[in-house]
Every structure is written in structure tokens, then in C-alpha cells.
Structure 1
């Protein structure tokens, strides 16, 4: 009995139709961009099935040996006839579809003259840029149609997809797929924005943080113990995957969970395929609650029931960042999954953003030596609001200096929202709570209160109402000492901003209530009579 092929979702059918329209227009090198959870497996399987039905020969490139088996399973679901260019797999040069590992291709020669009409690059932001991928594109099969599938078009380094491809077709952005019900809604928790470790001294190697430096910054008992505590406080009992710096870090995290009675294990690059699948089943069936790894479950891991991702490895790679978040964005009605949850101890959300804030996809280009053609990162001065380059350490307007030495931050995580999520919030108590968090952050950092207002506007797309200020920092019954501390803070802010006494009074009473400034003055006179 022939297998029943998967049913495509409407947007997947539309994407494939867009691809064929693009090819009919004469394009030969096309990116297919489908975010994590959009169904790349089904989309690519359907394209391969169409190619075989049309009598075409297709070479399907994967960059990890573990992906060969997963690819073959997808091909079998569509009833396709496959050969393999992979050690340990049966070779059949007459098969119309060849599943090829780029590692094995480097050791064999016959594929160079195999008459491929179509070359399909799985995880194309990696396979296309391998030595074999470039050879296939430019030397051995330059006349073929080249289809480059990726969830994350941005790459580290200068060489980008736009340098090698002509155009793109794309699935809807993640926020649209959430609205359609095809991706889970997300909740995000983060440490305060300064992060948990000082990354300033960590070198950048091939576009990302040096792993040795990261290990010293992140593989620390106090940080590991803290993420275990936060897991117990925020997401106890939920299936969880953790993205770690290296294997030793992953083992330490799993060990810390086991120490408090949480079943946890580690999947490594050398873990045999059968053992990996057993670990994934154990996680699905909740015999395991936490599975830790380093660069193993970022790609090719597909277990929709997982609800929580722990971001424990700081990165500069938006591709890696969004792949990791995507692991928990899949829907799982069978397990009654309500949402995906991210606990970010690495500062990656602040550094690289949220999937919901992606509005459209593009082919990144190499520009002015910057990765992906992105403009240099900017930041607002907390004192005067001027926007300056992120590397600036002294504001040219008000001379504010950014401190380079950050203390280790072991504060509790707080829920944060993507800009897209925050702009959609209409619940006034939630907006007030968000505004209060901006106010508290400004006060704790010594930033002027105007910084909190600007930060809230940028995040939520609206200005705070006058009634939202009261009790944001100390609650509705601040002590006399708290009021004195706040007055000192406002006086310092006024000097930096060039504000007058009436501004201090107005800001003080926003926080402490109408008439509170005079009450404090009366209290001070009573305590310290002249």
C-alpha cells in the first residue's frame, strides 16, 4: 500500500505556487524562506515529489549526517525513490533523487557528473556556503535550478545569500502564522537587560563570541543554579530544552537539574541516532523534563510538545537565535500545549530581537563590510536621549559615560514582550505594569525619568497616561528615606538635563502623590529644625 502524502496547509501551497511562477519567469537560483515551524519538511518534500513526477533529477544536499535519515523519512512519506551519497547508506545512482551529505560528497567523485536538473540545499544558509555547496553552484552544476531552503536568511560573516541568489519566495512571517493558529503564541522571560555576565572582554571569532570566553562567562555554578531556580519558579513540570555553550556546560546544567530531583539528560554530537530518538521520546513522554545540548537541537530537532527553551549561550547569530526559539514555537494540540516559553539568561532577546517582530523576509546582501547589510547597532543615551552608535562610550551631547564593568546579575527573571506583542496590548493594568518596569529600570540605573517614558514609547507604541506614574518605584506608601532618595535622584537628573526646580516638584509628585513634595519638606523641617 502506497503511503499517504502529508496534507499541505494553504500558505504552503501558495508558497510552492509562488516558487513555480518565479521559475517560469526565468529565475534559476531562488531562496525559499520558511521560518521555523512553517513546515519546511512538508514544503521541501512536495517540491521533490513534483520534480520526480515531472521526470527531473534532483540532488538534495544536507550539511549534517543526522539529517540524512530525517530527509529520507520525509521522502518516503511522499513515496519517492531515493539514492544516497552518504557513508553507510545504499548507493543507487539511477534513483531520481539523491540525498547527499556534503561531508560524504567531499570523499566521492561520481556525483560531479550526475545529471541533476535541480539542486535543493536544505538549511541553505549553511549548505550553500560549504566548500561542496559552492562547488555545486558554480562548477559542477551551474546550469541546474538551485533552490535554497532556509528559515534564517541572515548569516554571520560577510558572505550572504543575496550575493549568490537571484530572488526569493517566502512563507508568512511568524506573527502571521501565530494569528492563523499554525504557530504557538510565545511568552518571554529575561534577566534585566544588562545580562548576566560581562561579555565585553570576549573575543569574536568567525562572527560569533569565542567559545572559550563564553564558557568562562556562562559555565558558572551560581548562574546554573539560578536558571534551575527560575525554571522551578516559572515553568515547573514543563518539557524543556536548554541551549548551552559547550558539552561540559550542557552536562553541568543537566546535573544541576537532577540534583534537585528534576529528570534531565544531555544530547551530544556523538550521541548515536537511536539514543537521540530515545531521549526525544523520553522528553515527549515526560520521562525526561529537561534535555540540554550544545548545537545539537538547534537544527533538525522536531518535538512539538516541548514548551520551554532555556537560552544559556550568548550569540551574535540571528540565525542560531531564531532557530533556537523556533524549537518551542510549534503547536501541539495532542499535549494541550498553550504556548511556548523562553527563559533568556544570555541576553539574546535584547541583542537579536523576537520572531514576532519579523515583518517580511529579504535576501541579505554584503554591504560596507557589515554582516547581512545591517546598519551598525545604535543605542539611546539614558540621560539626554540622543541616539548614538552602540560602541560609543561617552555621549557627545551630555557627556554621559557607559560603564564597561557589569556586575554579575542574579535578579529574578521578569516577563518581557516583543515590540509586536507590546503594541497589541490594550489591557491597561498590563500597560501600567510594563511602564512601571521601565520606571524602575531607569531609577535603578540612575537614568533620568524621561528615559523611561521614551523607552516605554519605543516598546509599546504609546505614551504613558498621567495616572500611571504613582507608586511605580516604591509602591503607594514610600518611606521618608525612600522619598529622600528619590528626591536626590531627581535633583541629579535635573542637573544633567538642565531642568528647573518646578520640574523636580512635578516629577516627585507623579511618583509620590499630590502634595507629597510639601509634606516631605514639612517632615524635614520637623526633623531638622533650624
Structure 2
């Protein structure tokens, strides 16, 4: 059980399990380990742990280099170091070289500057499950005498490569933090309600490539109006108005899903790596302010995305990777004021493959946890589609199971769908009709200003922001056509 009180440690707020992590990592180094890795669930505070270690090391003259692979992680790490009062430099595109005692580096930039960077004493690898990839390995081989510290929620890779030195990985010791369940019980993570509506996608025959579903085949199976519409249906039925992230199979798929939500009067936008930093930041700010309710993406928000107010994860990307699944659902588990719980809407069977977000999992460094073996022990209610541990009764709607709900049995999620198919259809017919009419009305708007007028008539709080998102979603998928008028864009962002 994780203790709930927060302990103050030399001016830096560390929770009890973070204090224990620092002690365990120090003990590993003292015992002669060169490269321990710390596992802690997403939202548990890994950045705080390595910020504390960097600060304490800097006091003793240690030169620290922190490696990240995304701009969002670089900014997040820099913010954490500033909060503990630690001066540091950044190694990133467009920035001048830094020889500060403590540096945070984009690994993509660092590998191009290796010959011009002074050697560190300690290399910290954020999202350390990437550490066996080529760029990371080149960095570690550049400074073989440096100590290494990895931090990750999921010390396993999809492709079967382990992280331990005995399987040609970089790490020689694993320090385990508390589980998702323990952190949830202590109030450090939000509890998750999980629903798995009947799958509209047919994944039969989809091949495997590099350890996961073939991306091209998966995109063709998932990027269909009926599947996007089903995601909108269930969002409106189960989590209307709550801020959500939809995880998609491709950039185009994300754009189409955003369009489907927008057509249903749900403010939505997609985000991708082809956008400028300013544009991406603007979309995230819109989500934080509530001007959009649903953010869709392929991979940009799977790691390093830190917006605790987001409450709903909409899973539209099937995956055989336990690591990817946990990284995605972990995005909504961070607690926030007024956030009683998180919700996962699984349209692709990932919960069935990998288990509930707070299921007990045994991590090691040989890659054994890269995916679950067989079906995970999860019950899915045939009445409300809620997923929960094996039980005789659904804890959400009270449905009493027959033999299919008994502990230790696997549930066939399709067994009871025929007997309840009429009820959801009857319930959601008005929703679909409203979506159809809204789509027709919106399609009649040929200019940006006509969209603004429609938003005003519908009573939106910020009709120009809504119109901007509709306009961008409408034209971005074609990568051509008019952009948002500059004056309107300036007014929206002002």
C-alpha cells in the first residue's frame, strides 16, 4: 500500500515511494551497478525522481545529461529542473550549443553533435524503453564510462528486444515502483472506468509487421465512417462533454475522426508531427481551455503528453504492444481538480488483449512483458459494455452473469450481443439523426465566416475557435485548399 502523505525532502516535494526510489537507485550504484532503470506507471512522477537525482548530483559536481526523444518531453523535463532551482542547458534544434553542468538533450539532435559535446558522468534516459534503438545506443557507446539511469512506465519493447544487458540491452538492474492499482488507491492516479463496445472493425487476417499489426492494413480496416461514427456515438452516450483523446492509426485517420466529432457538434481537432510547434501548442491550449473537447492523434500524444484535465481515452488503434496500450491509457490517469475518474472507451479489443489498466503485471528486463499471452482475464458486461475483473455481477449496471462471469474464466465478448443489439440502437437513433442533420447544416457552409455564423446560431461559447477547427479539419486532410483567414486566426489566438 502506498502512503498518501507527501514528504518534504530538502525543499523538493517527494512522495514516500519517490524517496524510496531514490534510495534504491543510490543503493544500486553503490553496489556496483552501472545502469539501473526505474519503472513507475505513467503519471506517477518519474520526472520528479530524476530531477531530484540530477540536482543532488550537480551539488557534488556530477555532469548530468538527460536524453529525451520528443519536444514535449524536453520542455517537461526543463520545467521540472526549473522547479527544483537547477540551472541547465538545452541541446535541441535551432538552439546554440550548451556546455552546462546539467543538460537536457533531444537525442535526434545530440547524435549529430556527439563529437562536440563534453562527456557526462551520468546519462539519464527518459522513456527508457526506447534505449535499445540505434540513436540511443550510439549515445551510450560514445561515453562508455558514464553511469546510466533509465526511467520508464513500461520496461519492455514491442519488437521482442529486452532492456537488460543479458539480452544486449543497456540496463543491468531494475527498480520497481508501486503499481497502478496502489497509486490509484493512494489517490495519486485517477481510477479508470473501462468500456468496450462491440467492435465494428474486422481485424481478421491482419498481418503482423515488426511485432505489431501491419500499419497499412490496420489503417484500411479502421479508417471508415461507420467506425468513426460508432466512436462518436459512444462518446456522446457515455462521456458527453468530457475532454478526450482519440488514439488513431494514421494522421489521415485522426483527421477523419476529428471531422466526425465536429460534424456531430463536438468541438474536435487533430494534431500531428507535420504541424508547426506554434500550431500544435495552439491546439493543446484549445483543449486545456475547453474550446475543443476531443483531440485526435496517431502517435504525438502517446508519450510525453501531460494534460491532467483530459478524462477520456478513445482507443481506435489496435495494438499487440502492451507498452503502447499502457502508454495510451496512462495519458488519462493523472488526477486533476474536479476529476473523479478517467474513462477508457476501447473500440479495438486492446483491453481484451492486455487486461485492465490497473491489472497486476510483473516486469523484468528480458522482454517477457512485451505483450500478454492469450486473452486477459476481463469480464465485459453484455448490457452496458463495462469491463471489470471477473465477478458474478457487473459493478456498473448490476447485470448478473451466468457461468461466463465466474472468476478465472475468459469471457467471449460477442456471446450476448444479439440479445442487446436492439436496445442501444433504439437509444442512439436520435443521436445519429442529430449528427446527420448537423453534418448537412455544416456542409452547407462554404466559407469560414459562414461557419462562424453557424457557431453563433448554435450558441457556442467561442464560435470562431470552433469554426477554425472545422475549417482546418476540412482542408488539412487534402493538404491543400484555403487556410484559416489570417485575421480570423489572429483573433482566435488572441
Please give the TM-score of this superposition, normalised by the length of structure 1: 0.70
Once residues 219 and 157 of structure 1 are traced to their aligned partners in structure 2, the CA distance between those partners, rounded to angstroms, is 25
- State the partner residue of 1:365: 366
Matches within 5 A, 1:429-508: 430=395, 433-436=398-401, 439=402, 452-453=403-404, 456-458=406-408
How many angstroms does 1:459 deviate by?
A: 5.8
Once residues 379 and 7 of structure 1 are traced to their aligned partners in structure 2, the CA distance between those partners, rounded to angstroms, is 37
Unaligned runs of 5+ in 1: 381-410, 440-451, 462-471, 476-530
Once residues 396 and 293 of structure 2 are traced to their aligned partners in structure 1, the CA distance between those partners, rounded to angstroms, is 33
CA contact (8 A) 2:354 2:371 kept: no
Tell me, what secondary structure is at the counterpart of 2:23?
Answer: helix
Tell me, what secondary structure is at the counterpart of 1:299?
Answer: coil
CA contact (8 A) 1:242 1:292 kept: yes
- State the partner residue of 1:295: 299
- What do the CA deviations read for 1:94-133 (whole angstroms, capped 9, x no partner)? x111222121122223356x2311111111111x122232
Tell me, what secondary structure is at the counterpart of 1:21?
Answer: helix
- State the partner residue of 2:374: 377
Distance change >3 Å, CA 317–CA 376, structure 1 → 2: closer
Tell me, what secondary structure is at the counterpart of 1:330?
Answer: coil
Tell me, what secondary structure is at the counterpart of 1:266?
Answer: strand
Once residues 219 and 348 of structure 2 are traced to their aligned partners in structure 1, the CA distance between those partners, rounded to angstroms, is 12
Matches within 5 A, 1:26-45: 26-45=32-51
Matches within 5 A, 1:250-289: 250-289=254-293
- State the partner residue of 1:320: 324
- C-alpha RMSD of the superposition: 2.8
How many angstroms does 1:243 deviate by?
A: 0.3
| 2:136 counterpart of 1:130 | no
- State the partner residue of 1:343: 345
Once residues 346 and 432 of structure 1 are traced to their aligned partners in structure 2, the CA distance between those partners, rounded to angstroms, is 22
Once residues 23 and 176 of structure 1 are traced to their aligned partners in structure 2, the CA distance between those partners, rounded to angstroms, is 27
- State the partner residue of 1:172: 178
CA contact (8 A) 1:35 1:152 kept: yes
- State the partner residue of 1:118: 122
1:187 pairs with 173, 189, 193, which one? 193
For the pair shown, which has the larger CA radius of gyration, 1 or 2? 1
| 2:73 counterpart of 1:67 | yes
Distance change >3 Å, CA 474–CA 124, structure 1 → 2: closer
How many angstroms does 1:210 deviate by?
A: 1.3
Once residues 264 and 397 of structure 2 are traced to their aligned partners in structure 1, the CA distance between those partners, rounded to angstroms, is 36
How many angstroms does 1:264 deviate by?
A: 0.6
| 2:84 counterpart of 1:58 | no
- What do the CA deviations read for 1:279-335 (whole angstroms, capped 9, x no partner)? 2222222111111111011111111111111000001111110011011111112xx
Once residues 376 and 310 of structure 1 are traced to their aligned partners in structure 2, the CA distance between those partners, rounded to angstroms, is 24
Distance change >3 Å, CA 51–CA 434, structure 1 → 2: farther
CA contact (8 A) 1:435 1:456 kept: no
Once residues 36 and 250 of structure 2 are traced to their aligned partners in structure 1, the CA distance between those partners, rounded to angstroms, is 35
Once residues 67 and 90 of structure 2 are traced to their aligned partners in structure 1, the CA distance between those partners, rounded to angstroms, is 10
CA contact (8 A) 2:352 2:375 kept: no
CA contact (8 A) 1:314 1:348 kept: yes
CA contact (8 A) 1:230 1:412 kept: no
Once residues 291 and 373 of structure 1 are traced to their aligned partners in structure 2, the CA distance between those partners, rounded to angstroms, is 27
Distance change >3 Å, CA 154–CA 373, structure 1 → 2: closer
- State the partner residue of 1:76: 82
CA contact (8 A) 1:242 1:310 kept: yes
- What do the CA deviations read for 1:131-177 (whole angstroms, capped 9, x no partner)? 2321233x322221111111111211121112332111122000000
- State the partner residue of 2:414: none
Once residues 376 and 30 of structure 2 are traced to their aligned partners in structure 1, the CA distance between those partners, rounded to angstroms, is 45
Distance change >3 Å, CA 287–CA 379, structure 1 → 2: closer
Once residues 319 and 398 of structure 2 are traced to their aligned partners in structure 1, the CA distance between those partners, rounded to angstroms, is 30
Distance change >3 Å, CA 215–CA 473, structure 1 → 2: closer
Tell me, what secondary structure is at the counterpart of 2:255?
Answer: helix
Once residues 456 and 432 of structure 1 are traced to their aligned partners in structure 2, the CA distance between those partners, rounded to angstroms, is 17
- State the partner residue of 1:416: 387
| 2:31 counterpart of 1:25 | yes
Once residues 230 and 27 of structure 2 are traced to their aligned partners in structure 1, the CA distance between those partners, rounded to angstroms, is 52
Once residues 474 and 98 of structure 1 are traced to their aligned partners in structure 2, the CA distance between those partners, rounded to angstroms, is 60
Tell me, what secondary structure is at the counterpart of 2:249?
Answer: coil
Once residues 178 and 221 of structure 2 are traced to their aligned partners in structure 1, the CA distance between those partners, rounded to angstroms, is 37
Once residues 129 and 245 of structure 1 are traced to their aligned partners in structure 2, the CA distance between those partners, rounded to angstroms, is 24
Distance change >3 Å, CA 429–CA 321, structure 1 → 2: closer
Distance change >3 Å, CA 351–CA 102, structure 1 → 2: same
Distance change >3 Å, CA 31–CA 278, structure 1 → 2: same
How many angstroms does 1:66 deviate by?
A: 3.9
Distance change >3 Å, CA 74–CA 273, structure 1 → 2: farther
Tell me, what secondary structure is at the counterpart of 1:47?
Answer: helix
CA contact (8 A) 2:157 2:370 kept: no
CA contact (8 A) 2:201 2:227 kept: no
